[in-house]
């Protein structure tokens, strides 16, 4: 991958996954601070949510590193994340605690990123394998 120029859509995907990583990491930090500074109604629920968001941030970080190395597995990882993120966005639009101001941007980012994952130049740029010197 070092000898080939990366296409613009590849860098678009890097930016989109970077935005998602920044959002997940920010949320993880906020939840960790809340866990320490506030008294949650349910400590078990607060811990579980915090752990899940920290895992998601780690997942996104690993995916972004893999993308920058041009590895093929990142497409599957990012597709799974986009589906989960889309579901989170839909959930934010519904129910008694609906937050459309959060839901629509989450859905938009998911759809754009999902589309970028299937652009032929991005697929070609991420065909490397873990053991291929990347």
Condensed to tens digits (0 to 9), the pLDDT of residues 67-124 reads 999 888 999 999 999 999 999 999 999 988 888 999 999 999 999 999 999 999 999 8
Q: What is the dihedral of CA 104, 108, 111, 116, to 10 degrees?
A: -170
Contact 77, 48 (CB under 8 A): no
Q: For position 9, what pLDDT does the model report?
A: 95
Neighbours of 118 (CB within 10 A): 11
pTM confidence score: 0.84
Q: For position 70, what pLDDT does the model report?
A: 85
Looking at per-residue pLDDT, the higher value among 3 and 56 belongs to 56
Q: For position 11, what pLDDT does the model report?
A: 95
Give residue 134's pLDDT band: very low, low, confident or very high (50, 70, 90).
very low
- Give the pair of three-digit tokens for residue 87: 């579901």
Dist. CA 64–CA 85, nearest whole Å: 16
Task: List pLDDT tens digits, range 27-59.
Answer: 999 999 998 898 888 899 999 999 999 999 999
Dist. CA 56–CA 47, nearest whole Å: 14
Q: For position 1, what pLDDT does the model report?
A: 45
Give residue 126's pLDDT band: very low, low, confident or very high (50, 70, 90).
confident
């Amino acid at each position: 991958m070092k000898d080939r120029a990366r296409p613009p859509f590849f860098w678009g995907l890097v930016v989109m996954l970077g935005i998602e990583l920044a959002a997940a990491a920010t949320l993880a930090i906020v939840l960790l601070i809340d866990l320490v500074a506030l008294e949650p109604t349910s400590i078990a629920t607060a811990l579980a949510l915090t752990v899940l968001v920290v895992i998601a941030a780690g997942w996104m970080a690993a995916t972004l590193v893999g993308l920058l190395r041009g590895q093929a597995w990142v497409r599957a990882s990012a597709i799974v994340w986009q589906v989960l993120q889309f579901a989170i966005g839909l959930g934010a639009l519904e129910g008694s605690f609906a937050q459309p101001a959060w839901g629509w941007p989450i859905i938009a980012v998911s759809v754009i990123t999902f589309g970028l994952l299937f652009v032929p130049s991005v697929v070609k740029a991420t065909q490397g394998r873990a053991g291929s010197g990347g």
